[in-house]
Structures are given as structure tokens and as C-alpha cells.
Chains A and B, each alone.
Chain A
Amino acid sequence: MKKKLNNHKYYNYVAFRTAVIYIVLSALWILFSDKLLLTNPETAVYISTVKGWFYTVVVGIFIYFTLAREINLIQKAEKETEELQLLLKSSLDSQKDTILLSIDKNYNYLYFNKALLGVAKYAYGQDIKLGDNSLDIMPPEDRAAAKESYDRSLNGESFTTIHIYGDKNKAYYESFFNPIINDRGEIIGVTVLAKNVTERIKMEENNKWLASFPLLNPWPVIEIDKETGLVFVNNAAKKLLPDLESKNLNHPFLKDINTYFLKLNIKDKTETNREIKINDNYYFQALTLINPQQLRIYAIDVTDLKKAEGLIVSEKEKYKSLFSNMINGFAYHKIITDKNNKPIDYKFLEVNPAFEKLTGLKSSDIINKNVTNVIPGTEDDPADWIGKYGQIALTGQGASFESHSTAINKWFNISVYSPKKGYFATVFEDITDRKENEKRLLELDKLKDNFLSVTTHELKTPLTPIKSQSQLLLNGDYGPLNPEQRHAVAMIVHNEENLNRLTNDLMDISKIKSNKLKLILEKVKLNDIINNIIKDNSNLTKEKNITLSFEPLLNNLEIIADKLRITQIVSNLLNNAIKFTPDGGQIYINTEKNDNNVIITIKDTGIGIGQENIQKLFTPFFQIQSNLDRQYRGTGLGLAITKGIIEAHGGKIWIESPGEGQGSSFIFTLPIK
């Protein structure tokens, strides 16, 4: 401010001095003009008058004021320039993206704004100051380009160029180089105005890439005009649709495409779900309205996708239809527990039509409802369904059981499993028919037993008088019989005995088959039983001249068994052995004991048994088809009954035979206790 005041005074003084010099010179001219003969005398006289002096002074004052005003104006302009300079400087400094710098002919900085400070620091790691060499701070690779541009401008050229600085962090600068020319027209330096255009350049590059996109797109891109048809067809489209250009808008790929101009104009300018089928391929098209006249179509082949989808859909459909059509009821539930994780209820999540049919419950009435709502009282059912199902849902251990619903009088076989924790599924089938059949079978079985016992009774009833009368006749109670009469009555007795045995066998086999054979267990001396049987058959063995040997148990061992039944089986086996052993043959009865069993073997030198028949012999009514004499035939029940009785005792029976004609051994075991 002080300097400004001084200036002000100085300028006033200059104006004042100029005015005084004028007045002095004017006075001198007035005084001496006639002497100098510079003017005519009249004029000199006039000037030298008071009037002349007066005008000279007025002109002087006028000069002073005029000058002073001019000086003030200059002063004001100077001040404004100074402020403008400040403003300009701060404005230049505030530019972050615009660098302003000036250099002299030696490339030293004359001026730079703050932006350069920052860039130098950022790009080169340098702190710069006025007077520094602008090239020295740059790395060699940038220096050459900068020097070239400076030199061009130092040669008088004004131009704009783009410089790239930095390596990793590339920065693009659009720089305006302008020479600084002094009053004498000499070039004394260069001013550079550089603008950071990195963002712009990058965007342009991006745009370039984007611009190439439709052409290079591996999938078809087509642009059409509403009126003229195809405008642009990329390579992929040409390859895929060779006939596109000839058919133009009539090509199936562009079917009804014109309708989209209106549609997209009203809507949101883009349609992404257009699907077109060409031959066996499916294409999804995305349509974009470029302008009201032009439309761009992007397409992608989704054939594989469609096929996969189709497969998935068909798999899903398959399961859905299986689920809907299976005759087993299916229901999916979520278990509901209380705070202590104890199951207290469950909710129906999904049921199939069979479930509805079997239970009479409608899906719409029960889905998302609790069972205690749907079937009140379930929580108190002694069967504890909620607890049972809850256990499965929480532990994941499935179960299967049969259950009767009294509500609908049906039997169900229910399988329960847990596909995930807290959930369970039930699959159940109606087994009412099976259960009824079982019941019917039980009734039939009862009926059969009843039938058998009645039949046996009725069969045996006539046997009593037949047997008794025959015995009376044979005994001569009704008078003596001649030999023919005696033979006839003996035959009656013999056949009555056969019939009685057959009836007994039928009863036995029916009991064995229905597991109803009851044993009367007592202490039995096996040796005694066998000896008695041998005695009973002594006539037969004598008749056939069969040698019978018996190896009894040591210490006359007692076993726990049904005496009559053991007698029955040993008799049966011995009878068979005698029956199938030719005259003069041998039969051995051997007994032995191991830890828990006695083992009885009845071995003969009879006709033997082929391997193929050994197992079949124990089948009821089985008889070997052979040339056996009528006399060998029995009911075919004996061995089946024998096996049944032995097994009822907890023993086993088997046959050993080297083959036909080589004899056979029937071996059985009986537990001692």
C-alpha cells in the first residue's frame, strides 16, 4: 500500500511538474516571442497582455488536471492488472488437470502452476522450483519426446500433441505448445498448456472396443431398418444364416420382427426373451431399439441348454407323475417340538393323490395344518404316533410297521423315514385285503382242522365194529370158521388196520404241517423201546430170514421224549428196512451218544436209494416211481411224519445211501434232555 501511495504522489508530481514546465515555457515564449521574430507583432502584443497570461495559465491548469486524470486511470488499470494476475495465478494453480508452464531457451522453468508440482512429484518423485531444468527431471524415455516438442515450438511453431507419461500409471496429456515472442520478435521460450485426458482417452479406447463388438461377436448380431431391412450383419450371423441377406426381413430368424418397433418404443426399448427355432436349434434373441427406425438383434444358441432343461423337466415330470400315480400313499411332514425338543405335533407339508384316496383326507384341508387339528385326539392316541414319528424325524432311523385305522376300518403297512432332520415322510399301502385274506386263511385253517377231525372221527367210527366183529369171528365166538372163511376175515382185519393207520397218518401229517403236533414228554428208556419193537417184528424178520443186530445204549440211558411217538418212528423206520431188504439180508440198529444227543442208525442191505430221491423221500405222499412191487407201497406219509416227530423233539434225520441196490442208512438224533 505504501508503494502505491508513493506512486500516486509521484504521478501527481509528474502532472504538476508538466503543468509548471508548460506555464514557464509559455511565459518565456510570451516574453520573448517578439524578440525572436517567431510571430507577428500583433500576436505577440496580444499574448503579452493580461488576457494572454490568463489563457496560458488556464491551459496549464487544464494540462495538469488532464494529465492527473490520465495518470489515475493508468494507476487504476495497473492495479486491476495486478489483481487479475493474482486471480489468474490462483486460477491456474487451482487447475488440477491442467498444467501451465513456461520455459526459456535453455528449457529452464520460467513459470509453472501448482498442477505441475503435483505431477512432477507423482510421476517422477521430484520437487521442482523455478529455474530448474525441465528436461533433467524427466526419465530418459520421456525426455526425448518433450525436448522434440519444446524444440518445435522454439522454432516458432504452435501445435497440439498428446503425450503419454508414466509407466504403470499411464497418464495421457493433451499439450498445447506455444512460443513466447518478445517485443523484438525474438523467441525467448515456450509456454505449454497440458490437459490430463487419461479418462477421455481410456473411454475412447473402450468405445473403440465396444464399437468393434457387434462385428467380432461370436454370436449373430444384426441391425435392421424398419423400411429398408438389413443394415448390418456380423460375421457370425452370415455364417449361421447364409440365406439371411437374400431373404432379408422374410427370413424366419426375423419373423414378426417389425412388430417390435412399436412394442419396444412403448416399452423399455429392450426385449430379451424372444425365442426362435430354426431347424432343430433354438435361439434366444435380445432386441434393442437403436432409434425409432432401427433395431439391433443379438442372438445366442440355447439348443443345448434347452435340451438339458427338457431333460430336467422330463425327469421332474417323471417323478411328479410317479408321485401322483403311485398307489402307495405318500405324505411329507415336519415335526413340531416343545422347548425340550420333545415332539408334540406334526404338520402336513405334502401329500399325493393316493394319500387322499386312502385316508379320505383332502390335501387342501390338511396342508400346512397340524395333525392335532386335522385329527383331534392324535396326541392322546395310545399308539403315540407323534412320539414314534418324532423319534424317526429326530434320529433319522426309519421304521416300518402295520397299523389298523379304526376310523376308516383299514389296515396299513407304513414305512417311515426321515429325508432330513426334523422332517419325516410316510409311505403306506392299504393291506386291508391282505389282512382279510390272512383272517380268511386262519378261518380256513380252522375249518380244515375241524374238517380233518370230523373226517377222522367219521372214518374211524365204522372201523370199530368192523374190527371187533372180525376179531369175534376169528376167535370163533360165532362158531368155528373153515380155512377160507378164516382167510377172508383175516384180510378184513388186515385192511381195517391199514385204514386205521392211514387215518392216523393223515391226522399226524396235518398236525405236523400246522405245527400242532403235541408231544407227551417223559423219561424214556430208548433201549427198551427198541427191544420191544424188535420183538414185535420178530415174526417178519424170521419170515424173510433177515439177520437183525442191535447195539444198545450204554447204561440203559434215559432220554426225555414222547414214548408213543418214538415207538412210532422207530417202528416205521424198522418196518421200512424190513420191507425193502430182500430175503437173507441184514439190518443193524446202532445207538450211540454224544454230548447232548443220542444218535440212532438203522442200516440195511436193501434196495438202496438214488441220490436224486434222498431229499424227496421226506416229502409227504412222495413215493419212488419204480418197478416196486405193490407190496412195497404205503401212503407215502411215513417218512414225512417221522421227520416231523423227530424235529418236534429237536432232532434231525438224514439218509445215507451209496446208491441203488447198495443198501441205505437212516440216521436220526434226539436230544437227551
Chain B
Amino acid sequence: MPTKLNKLKILHVDDEDDTLEVVKTILEKEGFEVTGAKRGEEALKKIKTNGFDLLILDVMMPDMSGWELFNKISVIKPNYHVIFLTILELTQEKIKEIKKAGIRDYIRKPFDRQDFVNRVKKAISS
């Protein structure tokens, strides 16, 4: 368990305020420092100015999709640990594709709290 001084930083991008809030609540209970962003552009600004240990990205968003955002982030800093957190059910091909692109996990909403926490921890430490 990391100490308060060197908390692991997570950026969560989702266009839903409520989702941003519950994810922040759950993960902060686990001792992570969670920053929320409602838009892709906002997320990119935050990535440029701060370093994060994990990015949790929604896929369907109004200004840009999680995919676009992932690609733009990869330009700024490759090898980010990234999770897709989405309502979408992805096909087998799509899952292969995102794993190949370097995305650590794909979690569907609504999620079970414990399962979600376990997978976030796994992704951040891998």
C-alpha cells in the first residue's frame, strides 16, 4: 500500500459527473490520488502539466473518443498505463486490437466495486 506522500496518481476521463465522482470516491478509498477530466482536451492539458501512473478512459465521449484521446496521449508520452472503462461491449477483434495497442484492461460499466479495484491495482502495477 503506497503512503500518503507518494500516492499513485490516476487520471479518470469521463463525460458523466456522477461516474467521475463514484470512481474518485472508490479509488481514493484505496489510497490513490484521482484527477477527473470531463473532456478529451481537458485531459490532454492535464497530462501535459502533470504525470500520472494510470489513465482510465471512457470510450464514448462528445468531443473525442477514448481511442482518439489514447492516440494523442501516445504522441505526448508513449507507454502510459491505460484502462478503458466503458459501457460498450467490445468484440473479440476489438479487444485483441486494444491489447495489442498497449491498453492494459477493458472494464465494463456498471462495474462491481471489488472487481474494479482489483483490476485497477493490477493495471497500475503491471
Contacts and interface: CB of A to CB of B under 8 A. Distances in A.
B118 interface: no
Interface stretch (B18-26, B32-40, B70-78): B18-26
B18 A462 contact: yes
Interface string B100-119: 00000000011111000000
A472 B29 CA distance: 10
A90 interface: no
Contacts of B89: 507
A429 B80 CA distance: 62
Interface centre among B87, B95, B110, B113 (most CB of A within 10 A): B110
B47 to A, nearest CB: 24
A464 B19 contact: yes
A477 B29 contact: yes
A225 interface: no
A630 to B, nearest CB: 25
Contacts of B113: 467-468, 471-472, 475
B88 to A, nearest CB: 7
A460 B110 contact: yes
A486 to B, nearest CB: 16
A469 B87 contact: no
A463 interface: yes
A364 interface: no
A495 B21 CA distance: 22
Given A462-B18, A472-B26, A457 B88 contact: yes
Interface in A444-470: 453, 456-457, 460-469
B8 interface: no
B126 interface: no
B91 interface: yes
A469 B19 CA distance: 10
B87 A500 contact: no
A507 B108 CA distance: 14
B92 A461 contact: no
Nearest to A497: B110
Chain A, interface size category, equals 20 to 34
Contacts of A465: 16, 18-19, 21-22
A469 B26 CA distance: 9
B109 A460 contact: yes
B44 interface: no
B73 to A, nearest CB: 23
Contacts of B124: none
Instruction: Determine which residue in A456, A464, A472 has the highest number of CB atoms from chain B within 10 A of its CB, and name it.
Output: A464
B60 interface: yes
A458 to B, nearest CB: 9
A52 B60 CA distance: 190
Given A507-B89, A520-B92, A463 B22 contact: no
Interface centre among B88, B91, B112, B113 (most CB of A within 10 A): B113
A518 B18 contact: no
Contact of B110 (A453, A464, A520): A464
Interface in A467-510: 467-469, 471-472, 475, 477, 496, 500, 507
Nearest to B108: A460
Interface in A507-522: 507, 518-521
10 contacts: A461-B19, A461-B87, A464-B109, A464-B110, A467-B110, A472-B26, A477-B25, A477-B29, A518-B91, A518-B92
Query: Sorted from nearest, which 10 A-B pairs have the closest CB atoms?
Result: A468-B22, A465-B18, A520-B92, A467-B110, A464-B110, A463-B110, A471-B113, A464-B109, A460-B87, A465-B22
Interface of A: 453, 456-457, 460-469, 471-472, 475, 477, 496, 500, 507, 518-521
Given A460-B110, A475-B113, 14 more contacts: A457-B88, A461-B19, A461-B87, A462-B18, A463-B109, A463-B110, A464-B22, A464-B111, A467-B110, A468-B111, A471-B112, A472-B22, A472-B29, A496-B110
